[in-house]
Amino acid sequence: MSLKIRLARGGAKKRPHYSIVIADARSPRDGRFIEKIGTFDPMLADDAENRVVLDADRAKYWLEQGAQPTDRVLRFLDKAGLASRPARSNPKKAEPGDKAKERAAERAEKAAAAEAPTE
């Protein structure tokens, strides 16, 4: 049985509140879980102390048992010092698409033509 440390959604519509749970990887997101080890409230400010509440001892125990955290939970565990999250680098993400490059080139041509002296 492969275990995941993941978020289970709760709360009202447009007012999310998540529980950090240990669950079988095959169970649904909000379905059956083994243990609840914390909470995450995304509606609170980033610097709020109770935005992420995590039982570090239980998280460490489940990591030792082979539970795999999801990306979001891995961020929380990294911040708590329980796991290391490798830095990601995607330099192409900020690069504009082909159409945007074409439009920029057209604008540059028009600007150059407008600046050129017409005699």
> What tokens appear for 26 in the block?
């095959």
Lookup result for tokens 């460490």: 60
Mean pLDDT of 82-107: 87
- Give the range of the structural domain holding residue 71, as residue numbers without chain letter: 3-80
Q: Provide φ and ψ at 59, rounded to 5°.
A: -65, -45
Mean pLDDT of 91-112: 89
Mean pLDDT of the residues in the chain = 90
Count how many domains the chain has.
1
CATH number of the domain at 24, please. Answer: 3.30.1320.10
Domain contains 49: yes
pLDDT at 118 exceeding the cut of 70: no
How far apart CA 87 and CA 68 sit, in angstroms, is 18
pLDDT at 77: 93
pLDDT at 36 exceeding the cut of 80: yes
Domain contains 87: no
Residues linked to residue 53 through DSSP beta bridges, in sequence order:
39
Contact 26, 34 (CB under 8 A): no
DSSP single-letter state for residue 67: P
**This model's pTM is above 0.75:** no
Per cent of the chain over pLDDT 70 is: 97
